[in-house]
Amino acid sequence: MTDSVSDLTARIVQVQQQLEASRANPYATGASLQLGSGSSTRENLKPSESPDCCHPLEELRRRTFSNGTVHYVRQCLSCGRASNAIARRQLSEEQMQQAPDYDEQLAERYQAACLEERRRKLERRRAELEPWRSAEYRDYLQSPRWAVLRRRVIERAGGVCEGCRSRAAVNVHHLTYSHIFHEFLWELVAVCRECHERYHQLSGWAT
């Protein structure tokens, strides 16, 4: 899967739309958000693309190309962008001698950092929209509070699945995630594994 900044931006918009939709009707879609790997993004980005940089600090640098050509350019020390070549007659000997080498990797590092930041934002957004997929929720399922809720729900059902009333209840299922982490017991039901899996397959949510 390949990504680019515009893909990610499109996805942010998509996430926002899904968030709006989920506020209107939290249980209608069960859609999951695809974040992608975010790993193969660099090739698609040109160093000149620096959407988030206002180039606050630039420095004169000596840029040597593979064919041996030397240009003097101003490089943004934040995003790595290079200006057009500066005519030598505009520069003093001293300036040219003291100019450090152009950092060929800076733009790539900057783009990678931007993408990483976007990925983190998307993940935070997804955790808001789909809290049951979050690490916090996985921890919660191991917590003493959840153990108590779980036991009470299964006890309430007499240990029998509330989906089929034939098999033993071994899982506790959320009828809603409205109060995730602060559930009321009526929002939870005791289910057997078969019913639980069937429910999540039908509704499209991963078990």
Q: Which residues bind Zn ion (CB under 5 A)?
A: 50, 53, 55, 76, 78-79, 81, 161, 163-164, 167, 173, 192, 195
Minimum CB separation of residue 36 from Zn ion in Å reads: 26
Instruction: Report helix, strand or coil for 61.
Output: strand
Minimum CB separation of residue 73 from Zn ion in Å reads: 13
Measured CA angle at 139 (ends 136, 142), to 5 deg? 150
Return d(Cα 184, Cα 1) in angstroms, integer.
41
- Residue closer to Zn ion (CB basis): 41 or 111: 111
Residue 155's alpha-carbon distances to 9, 22, 180, 196, in angstroms, are: 48, 32, 21, 17
| C-alpha dihedral (156, 161, 167, 169), degrees to nearest 10 | -60
Minimum CB separation of residue 37 from Zn ion in Å reads: 26
Q: Residues 144, 150, 151, 156: is their CA dihedral positive or negative?
A: positive
Greatest pairwise CA separation for the chain in angstroms: 90
Q: Are strands 70-76 and 58-64 parallel, antiparallel or unpaired?
A: antiparallel
- Residue closer to Zn ion (CB basis): 39 or 48: 48
- Residue closer to Zn ion (CB basis): 115 or 161: 161
Minimum CB separation of residue 44 from Zn ion in Å reads: 19
Minimum CB separation of residue 53 from Zn ion in Å reads: 3
- Residue closer to Zn ion (CB basis): 141 or 164: 164
- Residue closer to Zn ion (CB basis): 54 or 66: 54
Minimum CB separation of residue 171 from Zn ion in Å reads: 7
Question: Per the structure block, which two tokens stand in for 93?
Answer: 């000997």
Question: Per the structure block, which two tokens stand in for 170?
Answer: 């071994």
How many alpha carbons fall within 13 Å on the CB side of residue 38? 18
- Residue closer to Zn ion (CB basis): 76 or 82: 76
